[in-house]
């Protein structure tokens, strides 16, 4: 990005540059809902682009990269920041946020970036695709089939959203700080896990197990028969639980360097039911999930291998739930009843509740099998790890409340969700932690 005298690309102080004043005025107008003022200031910036110089482009790009750095400093990771911008402003703004992340990442050597950070950059497609920073507005306008005025407005709005992201828990080293021993790739990223065991027998064993689990979950997602889907998913849970138990006994209570944290997106609609599902998956895998409802995310605390299992299984179960829900709605329409929001919410809540019971049963089965076949009783090690996870979660979130998820409002939806999960009686309602 274009740099100023401070070497960082920061915008000049107000009064030194009329374009900097226009940026500040546009942000102020946007914050105050002053549509006319916002238009006046962005028109001034658009006119500056038309003058043929690079000043406006370099200024706004520098401000965007500075906002990205600020977002990272208050705890946000690349995928999270991009997602938040997209939630508030839309896909076009999300793509510009990706560009801002890519531009900022040029400052950091690849070997000084945590593997999970790099995996997120790859997943979001963050790469510098434009030829020069000064020409970015025009190349962006061609890509988006938009006007230069729209580039200015979009840039100001992305800058506004990035600059007001609230402080959250920092979970990974910042770019430039290197990697952490506890770092692991996100599930399905294909990146090698951090730590010495990634290159040895332990890493190879984990990759083989992950491949088997993914194969089972792929079958669960592909089948049209609920009972077959349930069988594949339960087998995947047993496999992950048994692997985790075996590694815990082999490595001891301090395996993987202790508990770490990972945030997973909880998208609307029906986010409460989805958070309930994640809570169930986390509990079955000896993790703790805390729902950040205002931000549309949950933080999951646990050991790295267990977090991988939670992320992988939760993603698959969302796919399975959506497939089963669409099929259930089709049956409802065939019976003369239209689709309703209450049907979907009831379906997902029932589904999450029963899935939690089934996963817990599968995990308990794996624990019993491990206890029967192992020379060493796994219970003390597992209890120690559970206590460590509980302490880590309590330290990160000293104040949480139990939030009761709304119960069944649609009987057909509730029964369909239960049938999709297991065709078995439901137990008591579960709760989700929220800070």
Q: Which helix (H) or strand (E) holds 192?
A: none
- Work out the widest C-alpha separation in the chain, in whole angstroms: 78
Distance CA 330, CA 324 (A): 10
Q: Report the C-alpha gap between 175 and 107 in whole angstroms.
A: 9
pLDDT score of 17: 81
* Pairwise CA distance, residues 171 & 120, whole Å: 14
Q: State residue 139's pLDDT score.
A: 97
pLDDT of res. 187: 37
Q: Give long-range contacts, CB 8 A cutoff, 24+ apart: 45-48.
A: 45/19, 45/152, 45/156, 46/148, 46/149, 46/152, 48/19, 48/22
* Predicted local distance difference test score (pLDDT) of residue 198: 38
Other C-beta atoms closer than 10 Å to the C-beta of 14 total: 12
How many other CB atoms are found less than 10 A from the CB of residue 64? Answer: 25
Residue 84 has a CB neighbour count (10 Å cut-off) of: 23
The predicted model scores a pTM of 0.75
Q: Are 264 and 301 in contact (CB under 8 A)?
A: no
Euclidean distance between CA atoms 415 and 407, whole angstroms: 12
Which pLDDT belongs to residue 351?
A: 85
pLDDT at 195: 37
HSE, side-chain direction, 13 A CA sphere, residue 247: 23
Structure-block tokens of residue 239: 């496999």
Q: Which of 363, 358, 365, 360 is nearest to 421 (CA)?
A: 358
Q: How far apart are CA 344 and CA 241, in angstroms?
A: 30
Q: Do residues 433 and 372 touch, judged by C-beta distance below 8 A?
A: no
In angstroms, the CA 284 to CA 239 distance is 12
What does each of the 435 residues of the chain score in pLDDT, given as a tens digit?
Answer: 433 333 333 333 445 688 999 999 999 999 999 999 999 999 999 999 987 779 999 999 999 999 999 999 999 999 999 999 999 999 999 999 999 999 999 999 999 999 989 999 999 999 999 999 999 999 999 999 999 999 999 999 999 999 999 999 999 999 999 775 443 433 333 333 333 343 344 556 666 666 776 676 677 667 766 667 667 776 766 666 666 655 554 555 554 568 999 999 998 888 988 899 999 889 888 899 999 988 999 999 998 888 888 888 888 788 778 777 877 777 777 777 766 778 888 888 888 888 888 888 877 776 777 666 655 556 677 777 888 898 999 999 887 766 665 555 677 776 677 676 654 222 333 334 444
Distances (CA, A) of 335 to 241, 331, 332, 352, 408: 41, 6, 5, 25, 21
pLDDT at 247: 59
């Amino acid at each position: 990005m274009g740099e100023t005298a401070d070497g960082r690309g920061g915008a000049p102080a107000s009064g030194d540059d009329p374009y900097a004043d226009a940026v500040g005025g546009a942000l102020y107008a946007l914050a105050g809902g002053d549509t006319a003022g916002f238009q006046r200031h962005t028109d001034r910036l658009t006119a500056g682009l038309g003058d043929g110089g690079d000043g406006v482009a370099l200024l706004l790009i520098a401000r965007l990269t500075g906002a990205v750095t600020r977002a990272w400093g208050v705890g946000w990771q690349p995928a999270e920041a991009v997602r938040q911008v997209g939630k508030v402003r839309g896909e076009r703004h999300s793509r510009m946020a990706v560009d801002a992340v890519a531009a900022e990442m040029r400052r950091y050597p690849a070997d000084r970036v945590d593997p999970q950070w790099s995996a997120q950059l790859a997943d979001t497609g963050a790469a510098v695709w434009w030829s020069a920073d000064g020409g970015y507005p025009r190349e962006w306008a061609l890509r988006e089939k938009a006007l230069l005025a729209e580039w200015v407005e979009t840039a100001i709005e992305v800058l506004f959203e990035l600059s007001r992201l609230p402080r959250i828990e920092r979970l990974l080293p910042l770019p430039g700080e290197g990697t952490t021993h506890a770092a692991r790739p996100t599930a399905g990223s294909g990146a090698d896990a951090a730590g010495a065991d990634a290159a040895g027998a332990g890493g190879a064993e984990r990759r083989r197990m992950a491949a088997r689990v993914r194969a089972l979950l792929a079958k669960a997602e592909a089948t049209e028969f609920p009972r077959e889907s349930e069988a594949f998913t339960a087998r995947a849970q047993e496999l992950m639980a048994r692997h985790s138990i075996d590694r815990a006994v082999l490595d001891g209570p301090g395996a993987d360097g202790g508990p770490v944290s990972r945030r997973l997106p909880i998208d609307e609609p029906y986010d409460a039911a989805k958070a309930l599902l994640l809570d169930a998956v986390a509990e079955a895998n000896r993790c703790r999930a805390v729902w950040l409802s205002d931000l549309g995310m949950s933080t999951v605390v646990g050991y790295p291998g267990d977090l991988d299992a939670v992320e992988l299984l939760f993603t698959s179960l969302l796919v399975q739930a959506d497939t089963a829900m669409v099929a259930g709605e089709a049956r409802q329409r065939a019976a003369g009843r239209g689709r309703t929001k209450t049907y979907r919410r009831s379906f997902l809540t029932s589904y999450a509740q029963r899935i939690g019971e089934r996963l817990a049963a599968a995990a308990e089965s794996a624990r019993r099998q491990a206890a029967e076949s192992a020379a060493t009783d796994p219970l003390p090690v597992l209890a120690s790890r559970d206590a460590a996870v509980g302490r880590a979660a309590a330290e990160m979130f000293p104040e949480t409340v139990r939030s009761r998820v709304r119960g069944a409002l649609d009987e057909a939806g509730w029964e369909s969700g239960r049938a999709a999960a297991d065709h078995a009686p439901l137990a008591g309602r579960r709760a989700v932690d929220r800070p």
